[in-house]
Amino acid sequence: MKKILFVSSEVVPFIKTGGLADVAGSLPKYFNKEEFDVRVILPKYLCMSDEWKSKLNYVTHFYMDLAWRSQYVGVLEMKYDGIQFYFIDNEYYFAGPKPYGNIYQDIEKFAFFSKAALSMLPVIDFKPDIVHCHDWQTGLIPVLLKDKFHEGEFFRDMKSIITIHNLKFQGVWDMKTVKDITGLPSYYFTPDKLEAYGDANYLKGGIVYADAVTTVSDTYAEEIKTPFYGERLDGLMRARAGSLFGIVNGIDYNEYNPETDTFIEKNYNAKNFRKEKIKNKRALQRELGLTQNDGTFLVGIVSRLTDQKGFDLIAYMMEEMCQQDIQFVVLGTGDEKYENMFRYFAWKYPGKVSANIFYSEALSHKIYASCDAFLMPSLFEPCGLSQLMSLRYGTLPIVRETGGLKDTVIPYNEYEGTGTGFSFANYNAHEMFFTLKYAMSVYYDRKREWNKLIDRAMAADFSWASSARKYEALYRKLLGE
C-alpha cells in the first residue's frame, strides 16, 4: 500500500476560497483504494463552520519549536467520504474571520503549518511515501524534508511533490523576517534556493526542493517557462522542466450533474437536452427579469471580476455586444470598476443584461444549465473550472486559448464537424467579439450543428477519475515502480 499525504491550506467541504480547495478535497476520493492510502492535512481555522468543528475528534497535542518559539500543536481528525482528514489546531495562528489575512501574518502562519504537518506524522504513526504539497502555503515542506527532518530515520526516504495552482501567488517576504520565523540556516537563502530578487520566496523553495513539480494543465506547464506567464520564476521553471508535469483538474461529476442537480428548474441529460434544457432558460429569464424569448442567444459569465479573467476585453466591447440579438447574465464580485460596469449595462439594457454582483452557488448552477454559451476570455488561466462545468451542462464555452482553457475546449471546426466550443488566440477585444459573433451565427443559422456541438461537449470526460489516474502514474514513477 502506497501512502500519500496531501497538505493544503484549504479543502472542501471544510474551508474554501478558490479552486485549490476543490482539488485538495475532491481528488483524494478518486484514487484506487487498493493501492493508495491518501490522507489530507489542513489547518483548523476558527472561521470553519461549527457544523464541521463539532464533528472533529481530538487525537493528541504536543509542543514544537518554531525557530526560538515553542508552539502548541493540536491534532484533530475526522473521516469524511471515506477519506481520513487531519486538522492542525493553534488558535494563535488560525483565528480570524478568513483563512488568509495580511501576508506578513500568513508567512508565519504557514511556516508553522508546514512544520507542524511534518512534526505530527511520527506522533500519529503515519509515514507517507510521498507528501503532496499544494501552493506556496506548503512550499517550506520540501525544504524542511531536506533539512531538519532529513536527519531523522522516519523522514529519510520521504518524497515530495508540489502542485502550483496559480504561479502568481508565491509567499514572498523579507529575508531577515523569514529566517527569524523559520529558523532555517543562511545556507538556504541564496539565489539557487529560497532567495528571489532580494526577498525570501516560499513557493520557490518548494519548487527547488520538491522531487516533482506539477501544475494544473499541460499548456500552463509550458506557459510558465516563458517570461509573460512565468511571474519572474520562468528561469527556474525551465531549469526544472524535466520534473514538471501538467495534469488538468477535474470537477465533481456528482455535484455538477444536469440529470440530478437540485438547484436547476428542469433536469436533463445528453439524450433529452434538445427538449428539456430550454425549460431552464425560460425559468432563468423569468427569475432575472430578462426578456422572455426561447430564441435569444443567452451568454453566461460566472467569475471573479478581475483583469486576469479578461474583463478589460469585455468592458471594451460591451456596448457593441449589447447591440446584438443577445442576453448576458453575470454572477460574481471583484474589481469595483467591473462591478459598476455590469450594473451600468444592466440599467441601460434592462431586458438584456442581468448583473448579479454577489456569489450564489444555486444561481451559478442555474447559469451553467440555462445559458447557450459561457464566456471566459482569460488573460491567463492555470486550469479553470467554469469551462468544465459549462461543458458538463451542454453550455458551449467561448474561451481564449490559454492554460487549461486551451487544453479542455476543442474549438469548433465546421469543415470537419469537430469541437466542443469556440476559442480565439490573441488577447484582443475584437478577436473575442468576432468569435462570439461566429458562435452566434452557428446558433442562429445552423441549429443542428449547434446541437451536435452540445452532444460532444456533454460527452467529454473531465471528472476527477481521469485526473486521479495521471497522479497515480506520477506517484508510481516517483517511487521507482
* pLDDT of 150: 82
Spell out, as residue ranges, where the chain has pLDDT lower than 50.
none
* pLDDT of 33: 96
Question: CB-hemisphere CA count at 13 Å for 293?
Answer: 11
144-156: burial string, b at 16+ Cβ within 10 Å, e else: bbbbbbeeeeebe
Q: Which residue reads 450594473 in cell numbers?
A: 343
Task: Provide the edge-to-edge strand list for the sheet that holds 195-196.
Answer: 172-174, 199-201, 195-196
How many other C-beta atoms lie within 10 A of the C-beta of residue 348? 12
Nearest to 328 by CA among 313, 357, 349: 349
Please state, in angstroms and as integers, the Cα–Cα distance from residue 153 to each residue in 160, 300, 303, 402, following that order: 16, 55, 47, 44
* pLDDT of 391: 98
Q: Look up the CATH superfamily of 273-460.
A: Glycogen Phosphorylase B; (3.40.50.2000)
* pLDDT of 74: 98
- Residue 232 CA to residue 87 CA, distance in Å, equals 34
* pLDDT of 411: 98
Q: Which residue reads 499548456 in cell numbers?
A: 219
* pLDDT of 266: 98
> In which residue ranges of the chain is CATH 3.40.50.2000 found?
2-250+465-478, 273-460
What crossing angle do the helices spanning 361-370 and 273-288 adopt, rounded to 10°?
130
Nearest to 101 by CA among 63, 138, 46: 46
- pTM of the complete model beyond 0.75: yes
| Beta bridge partners of residue 293, listed in sequence order | none
- Asked if 14 and 52 touch (Cβ cutoff 8 Å), the reply is yes
- Residue 75 CA to residue 443 CA, distance in Å, equals 55
Could you name the CATH architecture of 2-250+465-478? 3-Layer(aba) Sandwich (3.40)
Strands 2-7 and 130-134: parallel
